[in-house]
Chains A and B, each alone.
Chain A
Amino acid sequence: MNVKNVKRVTIKPNIWDLLYIPAIIGGLSITFKHLFKKHITLEYPDEKWFPPPGYRGAIRLNRDELGREKCVACEMCATACPANAISMQGGAAPWDDREKYPIWYKIDMLRCILCGMCEEACPEEAIELTVIYDFADYTRESLIWDKERLLKNYDLTKDGNYYKRQLEENKKR
């Protein structure tokens, strides 16, 4: 790069520049202004973000109109799961109109990467990812969710107002 016509300028610092005080006051005034601005912090747990409906959070098993799980133990979800988090045992269903159902169904939520492949693979729309995103826990065993726990997720989220209810419960506490 050719630099032509360079003008050399010398800045002579005056006393105020040398003391740095105007620079400090200028910088601090920006910080001071922020004290009175509206903060952007999301005050969890008093405020919670409501995820949009397609959000990939915790897993639930859907119920049909009669309250039974829709799952027919075809093991498509277990085959599709990239982390091998799903396991189940199929068996003859105790109801007349259904052939097969899962005797037990477990998802290891600590292996689950919440990718949604199981939801895509399911032919019966029996498994879905909900909006629940805050389910940390103390032990590994409590995060291996069985059928009842996954169906409970359905009961909690089927009306679509999970976080609204959570906030109200929080306020009551």
Chain B
Amino acid sequence: MPTLKIDDQEITVEPGTSVLKAAAKLGIEIPHYCYHPALSIAGSCRMCLVEIEGHRKLEISCATTAADGMAVHTDTPAVKKARKDILEFLLINHPLDCPVCDKAGECDLQDYDYKYGSSHSRFPKEDKRVRPTKAFGGNIRYVTNRCILCTRCVRFYKDVVGEEVLFVENRGYRSEISVFPGKELGDKLDGSITEICPVGALLDEDFIYQARVWHLDHAKSVCPGCSAGCNIDIQTQHNKIYRIRSRENQAVNQHWICDDGRYIFHKFEDLERIESPLKRAGEKLNPTNWEEALSIIHDRVVLIKKSDGAKVIGAVGSVFASNEENYLLKKLFKEEIGTDRLYVYTGLFDGEDVTYKNGFTIRAEKAPNRRGAEIIFGKIKSDLWKTIDKGEIKALYYINADKDFKLTDAQKNILKKLEFLAVQDFFLSDIAKLANVVLPGSYFAEKTGTFTNVQGCTQRFTKALKLPGLAKEDWAILVDLGRRFNSEWKMLSASDVMNDLAENEAAFRGISYFKLGDQGI
């Protein structure tokens, strides 16, 4: 366990740690471009140069392993001059695009030049080299002028994806990044190169020119696209999602998210949202208010329970719903109403799990919370439709959280046999159109809750958008409904629901929002 000194602060690190990582542990920032914690070390940018006592020249800290007794200095005049010189080199040909470049505000070149560079150029009147912008395919635009050739994108494809797609074409002054002839960017991880590029050379066409990054609000969330549960950061402005970026979580998704999750928010934009509770009047659904809608459900359930008993009432949770919602559904229908007929909507599987070289996997199951649903409801029963068909269920409470929800004609006919159907949904899906009462819910970006991914990791997602019209968060709807059956329910926030869940379910014991933090358990 080597012990070394960085800027007169001592630290003991694992053998094999680089000086840059050791400095990061101490909180000392060493600027770097080509180094990325998840990629192999290139050592080409020379930005992380530090002075090590006893060494003749400055050493790059990303490639120097920490040795016992090393004394490292990151703030000597030699180091400062080296950083200034490298930035000057980079800025000789880097275009003055900051007003139009999307990376402004999160650009490493801007940040390091502000901190370590000089404020005047020695080449103000000379023309910069100009090369045409390339479209790499998919949503990626490569602005050749801005590239500083850190080769992070090249190494990303080699180390993380496994297939070498990009390479450095030509040599010296003429170097630029290109797609290997015969290959194309078509992989699901392409969007990540726009995140790892330190400057505005690789841009996402989906987000380009739309907003400035410092105006965006952030919300830490979990992608609902598949059961991997990658951690994401939803960035919004004026109640509209502009882009989704990844969050680091070494246990679940390391630093990456796939393109399906990156652009998933577009699929929710075009759906016809329900803005108020609806109740059926013949063929049409008329808007009403919450009081009336919840009263109708409560009264019908009590009526049916009195006439036919609790066993003809069923409830359907969802693998797309959060743990809190599934738990509240179970608590309401099992304990308060007393029925055992709890089902779970499972959604579809799409192809196979796709695993990349570093272990990042896109799961085939496109639902975020199957593990959570299995833990809460037990074994998932698959005979819902048969049971309704037989007439054993007369009243059904259905939660839908799947944007791709579709009913077959046969299922629609079976639903007609029900006496009473209440649907909690966020858009007018097939089943909402057939319901007696529709309660407007929300989708993942508008509520807080937890998902449990396929590895068993429970992760928290938070609210990014405001709810439209009279819609409420799904767990809040269930709490309101539950309060009508049992006024003892006192859950005021999703955190309270989680605490209740932790008390009553063995698998979730000890979990609270505080413990879950950013990374989940």
Contact = CB atoms under 8 A, between A and B. Distances in A.
Given A75-B215, A79-B214, A92 B99 contact: no
Interface in A88-140: 89-92, 99-100, 123-124
Contacts of B99: 72, 74, 76, 100, 123-124
Nearest to A100: B100
A91 B210 contact: yes
A79 B99 CA distance: 12
B385 interface: no
A43 to B, nearest CB: 46
A76 B215 CA distance: 11
A73 interface: yes
Contacts of B214: 79
A100 B209 contact: yes
B211 interface: yes
B210 A89 contact: yes
B203 to A, nearest CB: 11
A74 B210 CA distance: 10
Contact of A75 (B97, B208, B212): B212
Nearest to A76: B99
A104 to B, nearest CB: 13
Nearest to A71: B99
Contacts of B209: 73, 90-92, 99-100
Nearest to A87: B238
A91 B98 CA distance: 15
A14 B49 CA distance: 100
Contacts of A73: 100, 209
Contact of B210 (A78, A90, A99, A123): A90
Instruction: Classify the secondary structure of B's interface with A.
Output: loop
Nearest to B212: A75
Contact of A92 (B98, B208, B212, B215): B208
Interface residues of A, number: 15
Contacts of A89: 210
Contacts of B104: 74
Nearest to B215: A75
Nearest to B210: A90
B424 to A, nearest CB: 35
B212 A79 contact: yes
A89 B210 CA distance: 6
A74 B110 CA distance: 15
Contacts of A90: 209-211
Contacts of A72: 99-100
Nearest to B214: A79
A99 B98 CA distance: 12
B100 A74 contact: yes
A153 B212 CA distance: 27
Contacts of A79: 212, 214-215
Contacts of A76: 99
Contacts of B215: 75, 78-79
Contacts of B98: 74, 123
A171 to B, nearest CB: 44
Contacts of B212: 74-75, 79
A126 to B, nearest CB: 10
Nearest to A91: B209
Interface in B97-123: 97-100, 104
A142 B100 CA distance: 30
A135 B26 CA distance: 58
A168 B209 CA distance: 44
B146 to A, nearest CB: 12
A167 to B, nearest CB: 39
Interface string A48-83: 000000000000000000000000111110110000
Contacts of A78: 215
Q: Which of B97, B99, B214 has the most CB of A within 10 A?
A: B99
B202 to A, nearest CB: 16
Nearest to A89: B210
Nearest to A103: B209
Contacts of A99: 97, 100, 209
Given A72-B99, A78-B215, A79-B215, 8 more contacts: A75-B212, A79-B212, A79-B214, A90-B210, A90-B211, A91-B209, A91-B210, A99-B100
22 contacts: A72-B100, A73-B100, A73-B209, A74-B99, A74-B100, A74-B104, A75-B212, A75-B215, A78-B215, A79-B212, A79-B214, A79-B215, A89-B210, A90-B209, A91-B209, A92-B208, A92-B209, A99-B97, A99-B100, A100-B100, A100-B209, A123-B98
Interface of A: 72-76, 78-79, 89-92, 99-100, 123-124
